[in-house]
């Protein structure tokens, strides 16, 4: 039989040097079911990466498999560009029924190429077309994709340094990262200072910012280190953009479909953006992405955003089934409850391990920022990030059968993104392994 190592070695030899996930998570998958992955040698892992937050229902959920089988059985086209089928109609229906009140009757949908990045590109193009402007307001530490355009509006990623000629007129504003607040204070006061600063910048003719085509952010920065923006700050950004006629685009690629405890994360703040982007979980495990936007923004001519692989039938069928399941089983509420349990359990562990500098998140999007408490703390009272220790913890978790991702702008945030179906008992197993792994990584 083939071993993990044989497959890993072969792929390491032939794949590009940009390859990253398989290096940090060195296994070859034989099968996957629910929250578990089994490798070639029969070892079982709990998957708290879940396709970077894609697998809301875990691996191979029966309702998803059944929906895909129906497409195959009914001889529906496997590829049709975005031509009309009843599968597509059901998907749009199910999605529109999930929209909050303020959006339901005003929403338009654009199917995009299968990735989140493609839908972000579409949203930016739409805002530029609708406003006739070109500058984009984005945030430090944000992540929106790996294409030229999306990389341009993403934060300080090291891959950016090697790519010249990114999209100009992109302005990075301070995100309310409480633990390392750019204004020296976290909490209410810190985020007030952040929004006051942003407002002042937009109104100052000397700021060098041309009238913006859009403001874009994640309500919880994901790849940037699981940083939830305070609810009050989100409301402030809506007010500031609305008063100035700047379209607000919310990137719900990672936060959408129940992940943060609401169907869409902007619902926590009771705001309605002008546009938002969905991918990852919306395809029920398969590649799919869309932009949902207010009809007033629909300035596009026919053909303004095209692409071959948009609205794949199997992905739409899987997405409909998955969305239905999330709603019928109130996985949004479950996510909020499980997230609160995970957050509290990690805070309990923090009592014994000051290396867990900050525990934060919303719903089942939780992060633990790993720090070095033996070093001098900064003026905000936070300790320096400790990426080497975060990697060791990740490795010790892996050796004990738990897959977690490490991210964040300093590479020091251990990120928990389990499938939303995870039970309290399974979460307790995650927590036990995590505690043991920290202990082991300090020995
Ligand atoms: N936006 C956010 C918030 C993301 O987390 C990601 C992917 N991690 C993207 C956009 C890009 O999506 P994709 O990788 O499918 O292009």
Class of domain 4-61+333-442: alpha beta
Domain with CATH 3.40.640.10 in the chain: 64-328
Residue 194 near residue 233 (C-beta atoms within 8 A): yes
Q: 335 in helix, strand or coil?
A: helix
Of 384, 262, 406, 318, which is closest to residue 94 (Cα–Cα)?
A: 318
Question: Predicted confidence band at 182 (pLDDT cuts at 50, 70, 90)?
Answer: confident
DSSP 8-state class, residue 38:
E
Q: What is the average pLDDT across 204-226?
A: 95
Please give the full DSSP string across 153-209, using - where no structure is assigned: TS-S-GGGGG--S--SSEEEEPP--GGG-TTS--HHHHHHHHHHHHHHHHH-GGG-P
Give the per-residue pLDDT at 173: 95
Question: Predicted confidence band at 369 (pLDDT cuts at 50, 70, 90)?
Answer: very high
pTM to 2 decimal places: 0.97
Domain with CATH 3.90.1150.10 in the chain: 4-61+333-442
Tokens read off for 17: 């040097």
Which of 21, 155, 280 best tests ligand 1's pocket when mutated (most atoms within 8 Å of CB)? 280
pLDDT in tens, 35-51: 999 999 999 999 999 99
- pLDDT higher than 80, residue 365: yes
User: Is the pLDDT higher at 120 or at 104?
Assistant: 120
Give the per-residue pLDDT at 127: 98
Residue 60: CB partners within 8 Å, gap ≥ 6? 32, 33, 34, 285
User: What is the topology classification, in CATH, of domain 64-328?
Assistant: 3.40.640
- pLDDT higher than 90, residue 126: yes
Ligand 1, atom 13, lies closest to the CA of 116
Ligand 1 pocket by C-beta < 6 Å: which residues?
Answer: 52, 115-117, 120, 143-145, 218, 222-223, 251, 253-254, 279
Q: How far is the CA of 283 from the centre of ligand 1 (A)?
A: 14
Give the per-residue pLDDT at 256: 98
Which of 20, 50, 117 best tests ligand 1's pocket when mutated (most atoms within 8 Å of CB)? 117
Give the per-residue pLDDT at 191: 85
Which value does ipTM take for this structure? 0.99
Ligand 1, atom 1, lies closest to the CA of 144
Cα of first residue to Cα of last residue in the chain, in angstroms, is 36
Q: How far is the CA of 280 from the centre of ligand 1 (A)?
A: 8
Q: How far is the CA of 116 from the centre of ligand 1 (A)?
A: 5
Residue 181: CB partners within 8 Å, gap ≥ 6? 190, 194, 380
Residue 210 near residue 133 (C-beta atoms within 8 A): yes
Tokens read off for 19: 């390859």
């Amino acid at each position: 039989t083939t071993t993990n190592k044989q497959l890993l070695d072969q792929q390491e030899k032939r794949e590009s040097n940009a390859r990253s996930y398989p290096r940090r998570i060195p296994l070859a998958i034989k099968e996957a079911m629910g929250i578990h992955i089994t490798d070639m040698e029969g070892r079982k892992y709990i998957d708290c990466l879940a396709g970077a937050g894609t697998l809301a229902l875990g691996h191979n959920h029966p309702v998803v498999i059944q929906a895909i089988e129906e497409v195959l059985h009914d001889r529906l086209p496997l590829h049709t560009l975005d031509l009309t089928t009843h599968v597509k109609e059901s998907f749009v229906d199910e999605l529109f029924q999930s929209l909050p009140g303020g959006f339901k009757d005003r929403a338009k949908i654009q199917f995009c190429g299968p990735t989140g990045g493609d839908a972000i590109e579409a949203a930016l193009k739409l805002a530029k077309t609708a406003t006739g402007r070109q500058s984009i307001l984005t945030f430090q530490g944000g992540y929106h994709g790996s294409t030229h355009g999306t990389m341009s509006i993403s934060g300080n990623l090291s891959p950016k340094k090697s790519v010249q000629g990114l999209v100009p007129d992109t302005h990075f504003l301070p995100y309310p990262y409480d633990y390392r607040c750019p204004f020296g204070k976290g909490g209410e006061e810190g985020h007030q200072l952040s929004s006051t600063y942003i407002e002042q910048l937009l109104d100052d003719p000397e700021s060098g910012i041309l009238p913006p085509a859009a403001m874009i952010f994640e309500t919880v920065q994901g790849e940037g280190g699981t940083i939830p923006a305070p609810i009050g700050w989100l409301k402030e950004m809506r007010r500031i953009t609305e008063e100035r006629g700047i379209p607000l685009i919310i990137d719900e690629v990672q936060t959408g479909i129940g992940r943060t405890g609401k169907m869409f994360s902007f619902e926590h703040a009771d705001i309605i953006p002008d546009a938002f982007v969905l991918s990852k979980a919306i395809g029920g495990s398969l590649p799919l992405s869309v932009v949902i936007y207010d009809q007033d923004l629909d300035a596009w001519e026919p053909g303004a955003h095209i692409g071959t692989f948009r609205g794949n039938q199997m992905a739409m069928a899987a997405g409909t089934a998955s969305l239905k399941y999330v709603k019928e089983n109130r996985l949004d509420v479950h996510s909020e409850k499980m997230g609160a349990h995970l957050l509290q359990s990690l805070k309990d562990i923090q009592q014994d391990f000051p290396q867990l500098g900050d525990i934060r998140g919303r719903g089942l999007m939780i992060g633990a920022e790993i720090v070095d408490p033996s070093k001098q703390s900064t003026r905000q009272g936070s300790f320096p990030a400790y990426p080497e220790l975060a990697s060791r913890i990740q490795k010790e978790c892996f050796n004990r059968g738990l897959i977690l991702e490490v991210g964040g702008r300093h590479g020091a945030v251990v990120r928990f993104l389990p499938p939303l179906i995870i039970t309290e008992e399974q979460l307790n197993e995650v927590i036990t392994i995590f505690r043991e792994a920290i202990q082991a990584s300090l020995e």
